[in-house]
Amino acid sequence: MGECIFCQIAADELPSHRVYEAEDVIAFLDVNPLANGHTLVVPREHHERLQECPESTAIALWSAVTELVPAIEAAVDADATNIGINNGSAAGQEISHSHVHIVPRFEGDGGRPIHAVAGRRPDLDDDDLEAIGEAINQHLK
Ligand code: AMP
Ligand code: ZN
């Protein structure tokens, strides 16, 4: 993926403040951080969405996140973290190389929980939830 900046960072063709390296995954500081210590965890291979990553990469990605979170919290003295993926352009993804955001949070920082990312909320009753759950289940088969 010639023009992808995260591929270029992974190949050391562009600079980054790298904080983690493993066989399939790297992590570096977000250049335009939402908070001190805002870190991006990135598969070395180019995949646009999480569901396109091979299972071994998805496992390595989550393993890296789990290892990085306490290190980041300690480094910037954070009280908590939000962890999330903008998975597709409708969800706000700007760089089409899948990545996980780790955003440190601090008591009284004025930020919001992850529930704040969605748009208009649907009004669903129990039957609606049942039908949606069933549809998801069908697609897993
Ligand atoms: P997303 O909307 O999830 O695709 O977010 C992309 C993130 O990448 C943004 O938070 C940017 O600040 C960050 N970003 C863009 N270019 C770079 C770069 N060269 N190094 C580090 N982070 C970057
Ligand atoms: Zn890429």
Residue 95 alpha carbon to ligand 2 centre in Å:
8
What is the best residue among 17, 19, 20, 40 to mutate for testing ligand 1's pocket, by most ligand atoms within 8 Å of CB? 40
Averaged pLDDT, groups of 10, the chain, 141 residues long: 90 98 98 98 98 97 98 98 98 98 98 93 97 97 82
The catalytic residue positions are 99
Domains recognised in the chain with CATH numbers = 5-139 (3.30.428.10)
Element (H, E) at 20: strand 18-21
Q: Which atom of ligand 1 is nearest to the CA of 29?
A: 21
The model scores a pTM over 0.95: yes
**Of 44, 46, 56, whose CA–CA distance to 12 is shortest?**
44
Which ligand 1 atom minimizes the distance to the CA of 33?
A: 12
